[in-house]
């Protein structure tokens, strides 16, 4: 007999058990079969210690099974690390709303979200909201979206304008904070407040993502020991140059990816 893990629980199987045959026997309705982090349709001979995940379409599994499914896609050490992490998102506009959703999909276990604004129609061209969110505080709307992505994530919201005086109180427990403000003065206040009060917190900020210039100009750069800047560094919204979903989302992806790298202990040259 061999022992494997199936959907997070130990299972004894015959020495000659094959993946697809076993999957069909255990869960005939499974639409996705994952072995050791890789989705496959091959009927592979299972080895002792293998981990398999069987996923039924359209069904929310219990929390422990969902955790196992997430770990199967991310690889276990990655998922466990991000699940324990706390990340703040300061500002929930085009950058922040998209960053928060990406971090939720990445499996960050605790998100602290802060913004004072409400969702309005002009936000829908680039921000991660829907018509159903119009008139809601962006904190509430983003929390609603995250609950639909993963209802087991801890989401803490602060519907307040972030200043140099309150930033530390809100974000002091974070491993990483993503800065997603519109105005340079607000960016500077947040960075100053967090870096001056902590020797460990890291900040991933955005600068320059307006218009429809080349996506290849969006970069991630290390500016200080605990400060990283994502964007092209110069393209701001101006007359004839608006903020548009593709380029804003590219920059948000850079910020979310840099956050993931930092949580995993990977730096940036």
C-beta of residue 188 within 8 angstroms of C-beta of residue 216: no
Which residues lie below 8 Å from residue 137, measured CB to CB, with a gap of 6+? 115, 117, 118, 119, 159
Task: Give the number of other Cβ atoms within 10 Å of residue 23's Cβ.
Answer: 20
Pairing state between β 9-13 and 2-6: antiparallel
Closest CA to 164 of 195, 197, 189, 198: 189
CATH number belonging to domain 2-59: 3.10.20.30
Looking up tokens 């058990």 gives 17
Pairing state between β 32-35 and 38-39: antiparallel
Split the chain (269 residues) into runs of 10 and give each run's mean pLDDT: 91 94 93 86 93 86 80 80 97 98 96 98 96 98 96 96 96 98 92 95 96 95 96 86 93 98 89
Q: For position 13, what pLDDT does the model report? A: 94
Q: For the chain, what are the domain ranges?
A: 2-59, 79-263
Q: For position 63, what pLDDT does the model report? A: 84
What is the distance between the alpha carbons of residues 211 and 185, in angstroms, rounded to a whole number? 22
CATH number belonging to domain 79-263: 3.40.50.720
Pairing state between β 51-55 and 32-35: antiparallel
Q: For position 228, what pLDDT does the model report? A: 97
What HEC string does the chain produce? CEEEEECCEEEEECCCCEHHHHHHHHCCCCCEEEECCEECCCCCECCCCCEEEEECCCCCCCHHHHHHHHHHHHCHHHHHHHHCCEEEEECCCHHHHHHHHHHHHHCCCEEEEECCCECCHHHHHCCCCCHHHCCCEHHHHHHHHHHHHCCCCEEEEECCCCCCCCHHHHHCCCCEEEECCCCHHHHHHHHHHHHHHCCCCEEEEECCCCCCCCHHHCEEEEEECCEEEEECCCCCCECCECCCHHHHHHHHHHHHHHHHHHHCCCCCC
Token code pair at residue 71: 């770990």
């Amino acid at each position: 007999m061999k022992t494997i893990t199936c959907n997070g629980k130990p299972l004894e199987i015959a020495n000659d058990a094959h993946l697809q045959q076993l999957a069909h026997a255990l869960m005939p309705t499974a639409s996705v079969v994952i072995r050791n982090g890789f989705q496959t349709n091959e009927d592979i001979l299972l080895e002792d210690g293998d981990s398999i995940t069987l996923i039924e379409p359209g069904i929310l599994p219990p929390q422990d099974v969902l955790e196992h499914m997430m770990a199967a896609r991310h690889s276990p050490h990655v998922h466990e690390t991000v699940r324990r992490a706390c990340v703040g998102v300061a500002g929930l506009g085009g950058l922040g709303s998209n960053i928060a959703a990406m971090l939720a999909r990445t499996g960050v276990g605790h998100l602290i979200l802060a913004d004072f604004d409400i969702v309005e129609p002009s936000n829908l061209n680039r921000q991660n909201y829907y018509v159903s969110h119009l008139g809601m505080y962006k904190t509430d709307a983003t929390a609603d979206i995250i609950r639909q992505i993963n209802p087991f994530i801890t989401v803490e919201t602060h519907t307040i304008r972030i200043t140099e005086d309150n930033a530390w109180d809100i974000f002091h427990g974070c491993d990483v904070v993503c800065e997603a403000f519109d105005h340079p003065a607000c960016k500077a206040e947040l960075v100053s407040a967090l870096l001056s009060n902590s020797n460990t917190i890291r900040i991933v900020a955005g600068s320059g993502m307006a218009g429809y210039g080349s996506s290849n100009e969006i970069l991630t750069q290390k500016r200080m020991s605990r400060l990283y800047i994502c964007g092209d560094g110069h393209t701001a919204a101006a007359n004839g140059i608006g903020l548009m979903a593709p380029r804003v989302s590219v920059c948000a992806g850079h910020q979310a990816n840099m956050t993931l790298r930092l949580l995993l202990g990977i730096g940036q040259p």
